[in-house]
Amino acid sequence: MTEKRKYERFSLTLPTRMEIIISGKKQMFKFQTRDISSAGAFILTTEPFSDGTRFKLEFTLTINWNKETTGALSLIKCEGNVVRSTPEGVAIQFDRDCQIVKLSGL
């Protein structure tokens, strides 16, 4: 089977906060990534989410080199949709615009 991915995927476990609006109510979930690329991520979850479900996502970059380089931890903020669901979790494709936000005071 040939690799179809356009962007390199990295095996990174990042704390992930996901926000969704269900039946008019905002719900927050905390999960972790299994892997991530510039186009999307696989989120480990036993929660079932349907294909097309839209999320706001925040990935916390807790890697030591990031803190040493920038002096602070950072968040990657994205929005995206579920494109595949498995018993292990969901694959989310990001919208084009993701933002890296420096967290101060940590």
pTM score over 0.85:
no
3-state secondary structure (DSSP) of residue 16: strand
pLDDT of residue 48: 86
DSSP letter at 95 equals P
Mark out the alpha helices in 1-106 (DSSP H runs): 64-70
Sign of CA dihedral 91, 10, 14, 76: negative
Domains detected in the chain: 15-103 (2.30.110.10)
Q: Mean pLDDT in each 10-residue stretch from start to end of the chain (106 residues)?
A: 70 91 88 92 92 92 62 82 95 88 64
Which pLDDT score, from 0 to 100, does residue 85 have?
94
pLDDT score for 89: 96
Burial class from Cβ neighbours inside 10 Å (0-12, 13-18, 19+) for residue 14 reads buried
pLDDT for res 106: 46
